Structure 1
């Protein structure tokens, strides 16, 4: 992902956590914050050490990024997203991650219903 699509700084994460809305299922927590001044969405990822070792955590982050990449034209663009992966994601394959993430995105109403 390009730099302008990423949330990296701790302060940026904190703003999304404090001011954004959250939606969750068993695998993911999605925080969404609307930002009118942005031209495109930004994504922040959080995968705890409790989920697995570095290889597992990086794999999960790659899968999440890929789902957002596939659906970027269906997403509301002027938003910041922070995805927190929970423990069950360590054993999931790409299709399971995609299905679970789409479920959370639809609950948060940030993706079109026809996006599947």
Structure 2
């Protein structure tokens, strides 16, 4: 129900590999939901994409505003991308929303 609420009423941001929805949640913390349908690939490919996206948000949690629900939907193009490519894509789309500054991540992974 909460996923649907964010996807129906939230701000929609598009990248080549992801659809990202943002919506204020009136809580003292942010929540992140990640989904990848079978269009992305088999279970291994879907889980890898979700792990990479989760790691991106873990490394950047200090740069993300509190009180926002974020839903990331992986598109078919996300399959096979590495951490660096996914990070660049998500940073580019989230920069205006969260005032990301390039290179500020706690640690870089490649």
TM-score (norm 1): 0.84
Alignment partners' CA distance in 2, 1:95 and 1:27: 13
The aligned length equals: 104
Corresponding position of 1:49: 38
From 4, 13, 17, give the equivalent of 2:3.
13
Q: After superposition, what is the alpha-carbon deviation per residue over 1:27-74, rounded to whole angstroms, capped at 9, x for unaligned? A: 1111000122x1111001110101100011001000000000000000
**1:62 matches 2:51:** yes
Provide structure 2 residue ranges, at least 5 long, that are not aligned to the other structure: 106-110
Residue 113 of structure 1: CA displacement? 2.8
What is the CA distance between 1:100 and its match in structure 2? 0.8
Larger proportion of helix:
1
Distance 2:99 2:34 in 1: 18
Do structure 1's residue 106 and structure 2's residue 95 form an aligned pair? yes
TM-score (norm 2): 0.88
8 Å contact 2:12–2:21 — kept in the other structure?
Answer: yes
Partner in structure 1 of residue 18 of structure 2: 28
Separation of aligned partners in 2, 1:80 and 1:111 = 16
* Unaligned stretches of 5+ residues in structure 1: 1-10
| Aligned residue in 2 for 1:84 | 73
Match of 1:5 in 2: none
SS in 2 for 1:77: coil
Contact 2:10 2:22 in 1 (8 A): yes
Deviation at 1:112, TM superposition (A): 2.6
